[in-house]
Chain A
């Protein structure tokens, strides 16, 4: 994964739990005390180790750490210079989710080794949809739930997310999203 993700994990730990806790997590993961560079490629194992150590040090299940990270990511990515990009992706939550693949594809032109997940939307109604998430990386489903919760804040919605694993020819995770129509307004 690119350093941007690891930087976000670091930032989340420092912001929510303090510098000393981050040092303990970093030490536990066997990471040197050096800054992560957003364009540098790191082995996926580094990120998994950081999440594992955060879970151990904070005494939280890894799912909870991933979910929190997903929530934080929607704020952090905007703070580190991608706010404008996120604003252009969609004016509403459904539009945003439908355009995620397009955004990732465009970003791939710069992050050439990016292996982003793929998202698609089905069964869209005025106040619900089903989001399909395809990723070659296992175990990150809680992160998607956290990210959806973060986006709901961004779009000023109250959402309810139900995780629905899909079996079959292309096993993947899907999420039934319902939101309150009254809060479903554009932010862009």
Chain B
């Protein structure tokens, strides 16, 4: 090939320009050999050098049906996609252009560059952004796509956050609906319990009175006992309703530990199934604890049945009772507790379950198997008893619940001695209840037990009786009454006549202090209905305190 000075200069200038604009530039001669090459090839693929055979180096992916270098000249201007045989995955996209005159017409110039659709591939192919000159929009396109991918990731994250918030909101709304439902049930149950328990009180009192007049051999004796039993059963239904809505009053008193846990064992064992064993071990030094018997049963029945549910393949549930000195959660002085642990060999809990365990309506059980109120009720009851509950659990190992309850030293005060009974005969009781069908039989019960009784239908009558000289040693009053309530009456009596033992009775009360059982030592609360001997025993306890 010969060129005159000007033509050669022009051709070389064109080559220089192409080399600058296209770092991956090369030419193919008429014989299918590589002519000039861009400088980038020297570092990227030195095998692409002067004189190398095009067909040995490249396969032509596009246009289709081309045999090799011999066909390139027929497709000038077409889009070419070339694959470098020595670098798998590396592709060039561009076009071949020819010279204008006879001398250069047979030499084809490749104008193009690396073909990528993802920025991430760039470094994998050993390329950098500098391999895409400023005029080449592919670099811009790749950056734009990368930025948009990052934005898309942010959008996905925001959407996920939003969905989580919507889920939490829906969960919260569901919980609020449940709470509102429970409040409604509670209000209904409370209202009903008040009236219903007063009626039961009357039935129970009259039955007790009648029983007292009959010998056990009398044919009516058994029938009256059946009436008492039916009354107790009806009262337990009301209690169940109140428990569900957590309005059940508690009666905190010293309880014999052995008896309470024997009762609990009797209650739960039939429910455990053949594969689950229950063991109860009580340290000999633990004889008494301060609690409400019904609450205690509810707490440990719930914990034991939960343990059973955690052991699908069976196992052992161990209840252990011991004395333990601990610092209470309020960080007051360390004090002695009765520590009851319930340990199972079940599936254990993950951290999320542990964190939400005592939340109302949190449950891991299948739909219809539990509403998630069991452990929240347990938590509430333990709090009500002035105790503490904690849990240790490991996935696959099992769970231990620790319930710490106030410890008390057993005293004989709960059971009056025969001497006390004799001394109390003739003590004066001020009985106040607005329901005459409750008040009248109670008058008789008290009189039969040897008390002197002054009756009043409301607080005003009671105060008037005291002002008129009734020297009462104890006030027995209903809580919910028209006008002044029983608690207001007790306060008024105390202010005017000094401290007096008070026994509050009620079918149902909203007074949290009474329901919690946290009362001064000379006050007690007895929920209606109650048996005559229970009333007398409580009055005697109060009078002997």
Contacts and interface: CB of A to CB of B under 8 A. Distances in A.
Nearest to A111: B147
B144 A109 contact: yes
B215 interface: no
Interface stretch (B120-128, B279-287, B448-456, B533-541): B120-128
Contacts of A106: 129, 139-140, 143-144
Interface stretch (A8-16, A79-87, A125-133, A144-152): A79-87
B144 A84 contact: no
B130 A109 contact: no
Interface string B145-156: 011111101100
Contact of B143 (A90, A95, A110): A110
Contacts of B154: 37-39, 80
Given A95-B130, A188-B128, A107 B143 contact: yes
A122 interface: no
A84 B147 contact: no
B116 to A, nearest CB: 10
Nearest to B128: A88
A35 to B, nearest CB: 7
A87 B123 contact: yes
Nearest to A91: B128
Contacts of B127: 88
B120 to A, nearest CB: 5
A165 B127 CA distance: 35
Contacts, number: 70
Interface string A34-76: 0101110000000000000000000000000000000000000
B272 interface: no
Contacts of A161: none
Given A106-B139, A109-B140, A99 B130 contact: yes
B134 interface: yes
Interface residues of A, number: 25
B128 A82 contact: no
Contact of A39 (B122, B139, B151): B151
B143 A85 contact: yes
A103 B129 contact: yes
A82 B144 CA distance: 11
B146 A84 contact: yes
Contact of A80 (B119, B122, B129, B150): B150
A35 B119 CA distance: 28
A89 interface: yes
Contacts of A39: 151, 154
A102 interface: yes
B144 A102 contact: no
Q: Which DSSP category, helix, strand, loop or mixed, fits chain B's interface? A: helix
Contacts of A81: 146-147, 149-150, 153
B130 A110 contact: no
B158 interface: yes
Interface centre among A81, A89, A90 (most CB of B within 10 A): A81
Nearest to B121: A84
A85 B143 CA distance: 7
B140 A84 contact: no
A102 B130 CA distance: 9
A38 B140 CA distance: 19
Given A84-B123, A88-B119, A38 B151 contact: yes
Q: Which DSSP category, helix, strand, loop or mixed, fits chain A's interface? A: helix
Contacts of B153: 80-81
Contacts of A87: 122-123
B120 A107 contact: no
A6 to B, nearest CB: 13
Contacts of A89: 128-129
Contacts of B148: 110
Interface centre among A85, A91, A95, A103 (most CB of B within 10 A): A85
Interface string A91-111: 100010001001101110111
A88 B122 contact: yes
B134 A102 contact: yes
A90 B128 contact: yes
Given A107-B143, A109-B143, A109-B144, A88 B129 contact: yes
A149 to B, nearest CB: 23
Given A89-B129, A106-B129, A38 B150 contact: yes
A99 B129 contact: yes
Nearest to A36: B154
A110 B123 contact: no
Contacts of A80: 150, 153-154
Contacts of B149: 81
Interface centre among A81, A82, A88, A111 (most CB of B within 10 A): A88
Given A35-B158, A81-B150, A110 B128 contact: no
A110 B129 contact: no
Interface in B132-177: 134, 139-140, 143-144, 146-151, 153-154, 158, 161
Nearest to A103: B129
Contacts of A105: 134
A155 B411 CA distance: 80
A183 B229 CA distance: 92
A110 B120 contact: no
Nearest to A98: B130
Contacts of A38: 150-151, 154
Interface in B88-144: 119-120, 122-123, 127-130, 134, 139-140, 143-144
Contacts of B146: 81-82, 84-85
A172 B140 CA distance: 29
Nearest to B120: A84
Nearest to A37: B154
A8 B175 CA distance: 37
Nearest to A188: B123
A84 B122 contact: yes
Nearest to B144: A110
A2 B284 CA distance: 72
Contacts of A85: 119, 143, 146-147
A95 B123 CA distance: 14
A169 to B, nearest CB: 26
17 contacts: A37-B154, A38-B150, A38-B151, A38-B154, A39-B151, A81-B153, A84-B119, A84-B122, A85-B119, A85-B146, A88-B119, A88-B123, A106-B143, A109-B140, A110-B144, A188-B123, A188-B128
Given A37-B158, A85-B146, A102-B134, 15 more contacts: A37-B154, A39-B151, A80-B154, A82-B146, A82-B150, A84-B120, A84-B122, A85-B119, A87-B123, A88-B123, A88-B129, A99-B128, A99-B130, A109-B140, A109-B143
Q: Which 10 A-B pairs rank lowest in CB-CB distance, beginning with the nearest?
A: A81-B150, A106-B143, A110-B147, A88-B129, A84-B120, A87-B123, A84-B119, A88-B122, A106-B140, A110-B144
